[in-house]
A and B are shown apart, each in its own frame.
Chain A
Amino acid sequence: MTGSRRPGGLSRRHFALALPSALLASGCAAPHRGTGRPGDPIVLTLLSHYASGALRDALQRPVDEWNATHDRVKVRTEAVEFTDLLTTLMVRQAAGQGADIIHPYCLWNGQLVRAGVLRPAPAEHAEEIRNGYGAAAVGAASVGGRVYGYPTEVQTYALYYNKRLLRGAGIDGPPRTWRELEEAAHRTARRDRYGNTLVQGFGLSTYDDSTTVGQTLALLNAAGGRFVSADGRGTAIDSPAGRAVFGLEHRLVAGGASAPGVNVYQAFPSGQVAMVVSAGWWTESLKELMGADYREVGVAPVPRPGAGYAHATLSTGFMLGVNAAGGHPREAWEFLHWLNTERVGVKGARKGAAATRMSALQVSVGSLTGRADDMRTLLGEGGDPNLRPFLDALAYAVPEPNVPGAQQAKSLLRRNIEALWTGQQSIDEALRTTRRQVDREVSRSW
């Protein structure tokens, strides 16, 4: 090495090493957090998918309130669309530009914990979270029994039904069992002479994860089944409950009561779907889309295989966690505690009624949090009765699995459900392929 170096100069090898190192160092340098001068405030960044419209404004309000009342620590919100959230988290983290506070979809928690992105909640915060939220919300915000953040938006799944279509088929109320569901689906379904679907009895749709995996898992949970095994290292879908759900969906599609090609998010508001399992956030969209026709929409708990089964459904959600690479974890947890735990007066509610700022924020955009007491306060007596089944489900919902590799497991399940619905696979093949593929990928992720 010394042979190639001229006195007082850098060798070519040094230069070759220094150039990429300098490029990497400049790219990975710690992000600028405030001025860093003594006495100047610490600026925490919060990255979420509340990027536009009501969601952005709803989050900005409490953040502005915090900034107006706290001199030492300020919070700056940064937002990207949900579809870009995971990518943004990855790229910024790899470049050393990760936000101090992140707002991930709980499905990704296993992946984020395994990659060392999320900081475990300090004991006092973890205790607060365990005591203040429903089991599903706490489960979604935990990985391996350890809590990693404050649950924010929680979605539970229930059965939406069109009262007019059910009445038209001579059915008085929503189905409570799978037998009633199948019967109602077949009686309400209609097609024209060219095979075009006029009314879908039960909305099975390949449109997105929610319409395929979401409602399949809600039905699976209602049948007492689970997607991921207890140890989190494989799938448990190849079970009697899994076989029953795949069988139900297969019969509905094969019998013409369901048409997977139809986009249920458009078809249901147009009165072309009699029943569909979906999450609580949809109520607000339906109100806007349907106007006066919304009064024909009812919501009921997810039907069970039989009367002897306990109520169960799926819950999904987001949480606010603290970045392990952030420089001010104590301040970040302090802000999260203020946002998610401190109770403030609720406008329009009975005198003395209080709820957390996050609960008020979520309800203002038509969503729920895992704090059932807050939800009852905020929704009040005169609220939309269609939200009640979602609220009740907070007590018995099963959180979406969030083990490492959960996102890939969900994608693989979706592909096999679609293959089942479109006749590419039999029920046995779909269960077997899902088990083989998910077991392989999830075990690789640990």
Chain B
Amino acid sequence: MVNALAPQTAERAAPSPPSAGPAVDGRRRGRRRQVVVAYLFLAPTLLFFAVFLFLPLGFALLLSMSRWAGFHLGDIDPVGLDNFAGLFADGSTFLTPVLTNTLLFALGTVVLALAGSVLVATCVDRLRFQGLWRTLYFLPIVTTVVAVGNVWKYMYEPGGLVNGVLNAAGLGSVAFLQDPDTALPSVVVVQAWASVGTAILVLTAGLKSIPESYYEAAALDGAGQVTVFLRITLPLLRPSLLFVCVTQFLTGLQSFALIIVMTKGGPGDATAVAALEMYRQAFSYGDWGTASAAAFVLFLVVLVVTLAQLWFFRRKGEDA
């Protein structure tokens, strides 16, 4: 519709050539009208972004440099960079163990989920009834985090399924979620298990896009399974791996629902992560300033990690 207006304005401007002024004015008017119409069409989207992105972002930035208990908008008290300084002050737990746990949680999840999904996707790609297998592995994604967390919590408990298997093998019980040394790895395993379905879907699609002729050529040259996997499958799967890696890392850095269900950040601070800390600061302690400052620090961490991943994959020749 925007384009359709242009000829009309051009036709209206055409009959008056003697003076360049009115023609130029007409073109300007027509262009202005085009711009107005374009913005009118864009308005719903812009309004959506303004209300749901820029307004909250600006509000969060304001809060990160203020003290606010969360009750009256008039009580927002500017404090400069005090909230950021408080996060890294001596005695604060934000850097260690909270931020460290967050990175370990995300890294552990990505490594496990990526390794597991590459393995499973490669196997599924060679099986019959691939749709069925993909559906089975995707099931954890459509299950609520609360259910997943509680089921695994019971499985980890002393006397639960996992310890039952250990006991049957003659081994002693392990307090998976109660021991600070095993609590975080135990939750990482569950998060990886719960997110492996999406990765498998993406990777099986990636495997399908690799031309069969490469494998035929490799077979003719007598390449073994491992060589084919390392020299053909993995390099050509790199775009899918990049996507899975970046999205899983982003999810890992921001997630806390599973942790709140399984350990509530404990024992002690053993499984406390940044997103959980932000939630507590804002909704339990009424310290929205610290929560918002922590959110911006987490945003920077996410940005740096994502850029580092993109740089790494591009260095390897992948145009992300």
List A residues at the B interface (Cβ < 8 Å): 19-20, 23-24, 28, 86-87, 89-91, 93-94, 111-112, 114-117, 194-197, 206, 259-262, 325, 405, 407-408, 411, 414-416, 418-419, 421-425, 436-437, 440-441, 444-445
Q: Are B178 and A261 in contact (CB under 8 A)?
A: yes
Chain A residues with CB under 8 Å of B75's CB are 115-116
Q: Are A90 and B177 in contact (CB under 8 A)?
A: no
Q: Which stretch in B17-25, B27-35, B156-164 binds the other chain?
A: B156-164
Q: Which residues of A contact B48 (CB under 8 A)?
A: none
Do A424 and B283 touch (CB < 8 A)?
Answer: no
CA distance A405 to B157 in the complex (A): 33
Known: A28-B73, A90-B71, A261-B158. A411 touches B284 (CB 8 A): yes
Q: Hey, which chain A residues are within 8 Å of B178, CB to CB? A: 206, 260-261, 422
Report the minimal beta-carbon distance from A200 to chain B, rounded to whole angstroms: 11
Question: Contacts A116-B75, A422-B180, A440-B91 given: A261-B157 contact, CB under 8 Å?
Answer: yes
Distance from B97 Cβ to chain A, minimum over Cβ atoms (Å): 10
Complex contact A418–B158 (CB within 8 A): no
Query: How many angstroms from the CA of A405 to the CA of B284 in the assembled complex?
Result: 10
In Å, the complex CA distance between A255 and B269 comes to: 24
Q: Which 5 A-B pairs have the closest CB atoms?
A: A419-B268, A261-B178, A115-B69, A115-B71, A90-B70
**Do residues A411 and B157 form an inter-chain contact, with CB atoms below 8 A?**
no
Residue B285, interface by CB 8 Å:
yes
Known: A206-B267, A422-B267, A425-B268. A86 touches B283 (CB 8 A): yes
Could you list 11 A-B pairs, sorted by A, with CB under 8 Å? Answer: A115-B71, A194-B172, A196-B163, A206-B267, A259-B158, A261-B175, A407-B286, A419-B269, A421-B267, A423-B180, A440-B89
Contact A437 B284 (CB under 8 A): no
Task: Kindly identify, within residues 221 to 245 of chain B, every residue whose CB is under 8 Å from any CB belonging to chain A.
Answer: none
Query: Contact: A23 with B51, CB < 8 Å?
Result: yes
B122 on the A face (CB < 8 A): no
Contacts of B203 in A (CB 8 A): none
* Alpha-carbon separation in the docked complex, A90 to B281 (Å): 13
Q: Which residue of chain A has the shortest Cβ distance to B281 in the bound complex? A: A408
Task: List residues 244-279 of chain B with CB under 8 A from any CB of chain A.
Answer: 265-270, 272
Contacts of B179 in A (CB 8 A): 422
Contact, CB under 8 Å: B159 / A196: yes
B265: nearest chain-A partner, CB-CB: A415
**Given pairs A87-B283, A115-B69, A408-B285, 16 additional interface contacts (CB within 8 A):** A112-B71, A117-B71, A194-B163, A194-B173, A195-B172, A196-B158, A261-B157, A261-B177, A414-B266, A415-B269, A416-B268, A419-B267, A422-B267, A423-B180, A436-B91, A440-B89
- Contact (Cβ within 8 A) A194 B284: no
Chain A neighbourhood of B285, CB < 8 A: 111, 405, 407-408, 411, 441
**What residues on B are CB-neighbors of A419 within 8 Å?**
180, 267-269
Q: How far is the CA of A86 from the CA of B180 in the complex (A)?
A: 30
| Interface 1/0 per residue, B167-184 and A, CB below 8 Å | 100011101011110000
Asked if B55 lies at the interface with its beta carbon under 8 angstroms from chain A, I say yes
Given A86-B283, A86-B284, A260-B178, verify A418-B72 contact (CB < 8 Å).
Answer: no
Question: Contacts A261-B158, A415-B269, A418-B266 hold; do A115 and B72 have CB atoms under 8 A apart?
Answer: yes
With beta carbons under 8 angstroms apart, the residue of A93, A259, A441 that contacts B71 is A93
Q: How many residues of B contact A (CB 8 A)?
A: 40
A93 and B173 within 8 A (CB) = no
Q: Are the C-beta atoms of B268 and A422 separated by less than 8 Å?
A: yes
Q: Is the interface of B mostly helix, strand, loop or mixed?
A: loop
Residue ID in chain A nearest B285 by CB atoms: A408
Hey, which chain A residues are within 8 Å of B163, CB to CB? 194, 196
Q: A90-B286, A195-B173, A408-B284 are in contact. Are A424 and B267 (CB under 8 A)?
A: yes
**Cβ of A116 and Cβ of B72 under 8 Å apart?**
yes
Q: Does B280 contact A (CB under 8 A)?
A: yes
- Which residues of chain B have C-beta atoms less than 8 A from A115's C-beta? 69-72, 75, 286
- Between A196, A421, A445, the greatest number of chain B beta carbons within 10 A of the residue's beta carbon is seen for A196
Q: Which residues of A contact B55 (CB under 8 A)?
A: 20, 23
Bound complex: CA of A86 vs CA of B282, how far in Å? 11
Give bound CA distance, A87 to B71, whole Å.
10
Instruction: Give Cα A418–Cα B86 distance, bound, in whole angstroms.
Output: 24
How far does the Cβ of A261 sit from chain B's closest Cβ, in whole Å? 3
> A206 contacts which chain B residues (CB < 8 A)?
178, 266-267
Give complex CA distance A303, B115 in Å.
54
The residue of chain A having its C-beta at the shortest distance from the C-beta of B284 within the complex is: A407
Q: How far is the CA of A411 from the CA of B73 in the complex (A)?
A: 26
- Docked Cα-Cα span, A111 to B73, in Å, equals 16
The answer for the CA separation of A325 and B171 in the assembled complex, in Å, is: 61
CA distance A445 to B265 in the complex (A): 23
From known contacts A194-B167, A196-B163, infer whether A116 and B71 are also in contact, taking CB-CB under 8 Å: yes
- List which B122-175 residues lie within 8 A (CB) of chain A: 157-159, 163, 166-167, 171-173, 175
B40-71, CB < 8 A from A = 50-51, 55, 69-71
Return chain A residues, CB-CB under 8 Å to B284.
86, 407-408, 411
Are B158 and A197 in contact, with the CB atoms below 8 A? Answer: yes
A87 to B286, CA, bound (A): 9
Q: How far is the CA of A114 from the CA of B68 in the complex (A)?
A: 11
CA distance A91 to B69 in the complex (A): 11
B159 contact set on A, CB distance < 8 A: 196
Are B180 and A424 neighbours in the complex by a CB distance under 8 Å?
A: yes
Q: Shortest distance in angstroms between B98's beta carbon and chain A's nearest beta carbon?
A: 11
Residues on A with C-beta less than 8 A from B171 are 194
State the CA gap A97–B137 with chains docked (Å).
45
CB nearest neighbor in A for B58: A20
Min Cβ gap A415→B in Å is 5
